[in-house]
Amino acid sequence: MLFNAKLLALGEAAHINSGDIIYQLLWFIVLLALLRKFAWQPLMNIMKQREEHIANEIDQAEKHRQEAEKLLQEQRELMKQSRQEAQELIENARKMAEEQKEQIIASARAEAERLKEAAKKEIEREKEQAMAALREQVASLSVLIASKVIEKELTEQDQAKLISEYIQEVGEGR
């Protein structure tokens, strides 16, 4: 009997009430509809807004990165140009210094040449003056010696002739 009582209890427990199931299923569908309307849709809207916000942030970050790269490239170009201009300035200064050096050297050489020529002319002039003074002294002494040697008086023509001959001999002796 115990066995029969257990089967009977199991049969009653196994009996399913279809009205309760339909009632619970109906309330479950209503609950799902309410959740969809009041919770699911706002939640999806928030998720969509968040997704759009993140996409906008990514786009802005990409734009900022591109702008930064553009500015970096511009800065590199400016630095390159600045270096090139500085190099050109240095090269121009070097060329100008070289030109000035050459001009100074050429000027110094010209001045030295001019001084050398002036000194040569001065030496030549002094030489000519010394020769003229020497001729005059030699002529005077010659006339004096000749007049004493000959012991006669010479005429001016004879004296000039003797002086000329003596000067020629002295000039050839140099």
Name the amino acid, one letter, at 169.
Answer: E
At a CB cut-off of 8 Å and minimum separation 6, what does 135 contact?
167, 170
At a CB cut-off of 8 Å and minimum separation 6, what does 147 contact?
153, 154
Q: Which tokens hold the place of 98?
A: 């070289």
Q: How far apart are CA 168 and CA 129, in angstroms?
A: 17
Hey, what long-range contacts does 150-156 have (CB within 8 A, 24 or more apart)? none
- Domain locations in the chain? 37-167
Q: Please indicate, yes or no, whether the overall pTM of this predicted structure exceeds 0.75.
A: no
What tens-digit pLDDT sequence spans the chain (174 residues)? 555 555 455 555 557 889 899 999 999 999 999 988 888 888 889 999 999 999 999 999 999 999 999 999 999 999 999 999 999 999 999 999 999 999 999 999 999 999 999 999 999 998 888 888 888 877 777 766 666 666 456 677 877 887 788 788 777 765
